[in-house]
Every structure is written in C-alpha cells, then in structure tokens.
Chains A and B, each alone.
Chain A
Amino acid sequence: MIASLVVSVAIVSSVAVFLALLMVIADATIANYGDVQIDVNEGTKDLTVKGGQPLLKALGDQGIFIPSACGGRGSCGLCKVQVVKGGGQVLPTELPWLNEQEQQDNVRLSCQFKVKEDISIKIPEELFLVKQYVTKVERLRDLTYDIKEVTLALVDPPEIKSKAGQYIQFQVPEYELTDEAVYRAYSISSAPSDSRRVELEIRLVPNGICTTYVHKYLKEGDEVIINGPYGDFFLSDTDAETICIAGGSGMAPIKAILLDMLDKGISRKTRYFFGARTEADLFLLDEMKELEQKLPDFTFIPALSNPEEGGSWKGETGLITDVVARYVDEGTAAESYLCGSPGMIDACIKVLISKGIPEEKIFYDKFS
C-alpha cells in the first residue's frame, strides 16, 4: 500500500521534473535571444534590453511608458508604436487594431510584438516626458452626488510637467473587483503651473473597476501610483475664438485649459458650454464665475436638459447641441474643444460642422 503510494508519487514527480527540466533548458537555449538594441527616434536614445520580451515591457523597464489601458493583453489597442527597422511581420492578434495606413507604416501593438533582434522605433517625443509617479491623496471632495474631485500630491518624483488638457493613467491596485493592478485614464483638471499636484474628476460608474475603487475605497493619505502625462488634446497656439463643450466629468480638461489661459494671460474670446441633466449634476459654478471675472473675454453657459418643474433654474435649458446651435453663429471662425461621452461629442461635431467650423479645427477627448 505504502509502496504503491510512493511509486505513484515518484512517477508523477519524475514526469513533471523531466518536463520542467526540458522547459528550463528550452528557455535558456531556444527562447534566449541575448541582448538586443532598440534605437529610439533615430539615435535620440539607444537602449539595450533582454531579447524575447514584449516591446511594451522592454520600454517600460527602461522608463519609457507607452499608453496602454489593458495592461498588455492586446485588448485595448492603445500601445501602438511605429517600428522603422526590423521586427518581422504583423501578428494576427494585432490586426484588429491596425488600419491600412498603420499596417503600411509598420505600426505594431507593442504589447504583442516581441523584440527578438535589433530594431529601430519611432515614438512621439512627448512620451519621453511620461514617467511613473508615486503620489498621496491630499484631498477628496464631492463635486456632485456621483463625481468626486481627487487631489493627488506628488511624492516621487515631486514634480510633473504637463500641458493643459492632457491625461494621466491611474493605477488601481488589486482589490475586490480586480485580481490584478489595472490602469485607467483620467484628464488632469488642475493647472499645469501647479506642478506638484494632479487633480482629477472621477464620476462613479456602476461596477466600474477604477471609479468604484475611488468612490468606495480610496481615503485621504492613501498612496496612488500614476503615470503620464499623455494626449494631444490641448489648446492650440492661435488667437482664434474658442468654443469649449463638455458634459459631466468632461469638465476636467476644459477646466485645466481655462486655468492655463489665466496663468499665461491668453485673452482669446472663449465660450464654454456645459451640459447636465439637472441642477444636481452641475458643479464648480463658483469657480467658473470667478474665471468669467478674471479672464478678459470668457462666458460660461451651463445648460440643463431636464430642469425640475417649477425649480429655480434660470439658465439655458435643452440638449447641449440645441444650446450650442442657438449661440454659435453661422460661419464663426472658431476652434472647438470637446470632452464628454462619445454620443455627445459626435452630436456636437455635427452641429459645429453645420455652422461652418472646419472639422480639423474641432479637437476632442472621447470617454470610452
């Protein structure tokens, strides 16, 4: 009885050990690609990394963070990198995320693409500025019943250089709703001049992994890891009239842009349309009033789609698209900055184009 037990354990273990040994040997020989060189932006940086790992991870280890929302599982399609030299052919797991132009330019999904030889890649310069930051929650404030303002004080490194309108990625640690750390993107709502702080506006989405964490678990004093800044949604360097449109927590990047205009003394004519359902969904009204006084030519136009019957609301009512259509004249030479849900943005783009604003002057940041 005991003998047969020992034999069975021994046999199974020896099979497992033999196969494991085979794997270890294979790992050290077949899967060992040695060190490889990554040339970034024609000599701007020359990295030596261990071959055989995904490009996303190889770059991350060297302090270059490519935006990625899914953490490298090939399910968000954000971590695109152009490979100029080397790299072999595109994998079927990348194809769903690449359009024809990108395939011609040899753009790859860096989480799927493994570095097995010396390669040259091209990435946007601003990604060099992207770093990982350890921060501490300085303040939590309820803006509405479902939007929280989160102020993070930077600890290490102590300062961040961003442009108004950009976003960061917030790391949600392992907790009840997720068994691994995940990243979610949020726009910075504080002014870039306040380089020691990052302020976010986060709306509670039922069962949202990050939003639930922020609303139900996060406390003042907690440590939060972020990385950034990312994005090319920021104010252009012109004097054109500006039309901003936002809904809900889409307020965040627009607020940062307005504060930045104040800091830099930019005096272009600006109108900001903010759409909400009821009065309970409006927030930062005092701050906006203050900006109206401080900025030379700024008007804040909040609009409610479902104002309470007989309530005290005296402002605009109706869908934000209708309000914008009423205010913006035909043929206005303006630039437009939009932030909100995809539905709202698409509808607003239609209205703006019908008013004669060219599509290339409409910039937007879609939640998705």
Chain B
Amino acid sequence: MESNWYPLAVFFAAVFTNNILLANYLGMCSFLSIAKELKASVGLGMAVTFVMAVTTVLNWMVYTYLLVPFGLEYLRFIVFIIVIAAFVQLVEMIIERVSDGLYAALGIFLPLITVNCAILGTSLFMVIRDYSLIVSFFFGLGSGLGWFLAILAMAGILQKLKKARIPKGLEGAGITLVITGIMALAFMGFAGILMIG
C-alpha cells in the first residue's frame, strides 16, 4: 500500500472521490453563506486551503509527539481546536500587518474559518486513517483544494441561477442544498478511480 505514489493518491482522492464537502458534507455553513459571491468564494477557498494544509501538519505533530506519548489521544478534539484557533488568529494578524491587498482578499475570511468544521474534520480523519506526516500534508492540501473546487463550482452555478426562476420555497439555502446533493452524486462518478478511507 505504502508506495511512493501513496501521498499523491491520497491527495487526488481528497480532491475528487472523498471531497470533504461533497462526500462528508463538512464545512457547510460558510459554504452556504459565501457561495453567493464568486469573488468572496475564491478568497475563502484560498484561505481554507492554506489553513487546512498547515493545521493538518501542525495537528499531526501535536498528536504524534505530545498526545500519543502520554496516552492522551482522547483529548485530540479540544487540543486540535485550540491549535486551529490560535493558528488562524496568528495568520490573520500577520496578514493584516504585512499586506493590505492580501488582507482584503483573504484575511477577512480567516475568522470564519476558525469554526469551520471541515478544518477540524480533516485533522480528525488524519488520525483515524493513521496517515504519516507527508501523507497528512497532502491530505490537508487536497481536502482544502477539494473544498475550494466545490465552493467555486457552486458559486458559478449560483451566478447562473440568479437569472433562473426558482420556486419561492426553494430560494436561497434550499436550492443550494439540492444542487450540492446533485454535485455530490456527480463526484461519486470519480469513485472508480481511487478510494481512501
């Protein structure tokens, strides 16, 4: 199983077949509220990708070098959340200080991410599936890009929908969820290529 290509396989699986949003339905709240705007979706997508890739690695280290040696695996939920929150805060401060442009495009979404369950979910899957450090990094990156891909696709579809006549009761979150379901079915088509889990 552990061939040289394994990290890449996990990466592509995280983007397509095991897409964190479409397969696990995680990170829905910011997805539903931000997908309305294409530009904001790009910013949020980038922020999620970055934070996911880095926090997965950080949490892997904290888990492997701190929690496992002391037999405290059961504390991973709270520890992971603290690490994610602190990291996001720190990144926001740095971006705000360093670049106005980057802050406007990306930094403004960071507080939204602290409570994004997809981020915590990725760190928890990494533990359950027993990934190594390298694989975890690719898994985090892939999950982030997968989420990015899903929100981008949804934002594109919603742009078209603005001109469509939607039944009153389905407007807003309703139609978005229906479309997300259909998208999830479409992504299941990738399932034959590779699987993880």
Contacts and interface: CB of A to CB of B under 8 A. Distances in A.
A246 B7 CA distance: 70
Given A89-B101, A92-B39, A19 B83 contact: yes
B75 A26 contact: no
A8 B86 contact: no
Main SS of chain A's interface residues? helix
Interface string A23-59: 1001100110000000000000000000000000000
Interface string B36-63: 0001100100000000000000000010
Contacts of A16: 82
10 contacts: A4-B71, A7-B72, A8-B70, A8-B75, A12-B75, A15-B79, A26-B93, A26-B94, A91-B104, A93-B108
Given A15-B82, A15-B83, A16-B82, A92 B108 contact: yes
Interface residues of B, number: 27
Contacts of B93: 26-27, 30-31
B62 A92 contact: no
Interface in B91-129: 93-94, 96-97, 100-101, 103-105, 108
Contacts, number: 59
B78 interface: yes
A23 B86 contact: yes
Interface in B10-29: none
A31 B105 CA distance: 19
B89 interface: yes
A26 B92 CA distance: 11
Nearest to A12: B75
Given A11-B70, A19-B83, A23-B89, A91 B75 contact: no
Contacts of B83: 15, 19
B40 A26 contact: no
B90 interface: yes
B195 interface: no
A325 interface: no
Contact of B97 (A20, A30, A91): A30
A34 to B, nearest CB: 12
B108 A11 contact: no
A26 B94 CA distance: 9
Contacts of B105: 92
Interface in A218-257: none
Contacts of A116: 96
Contacts of B78: 12
A90 interface: yes
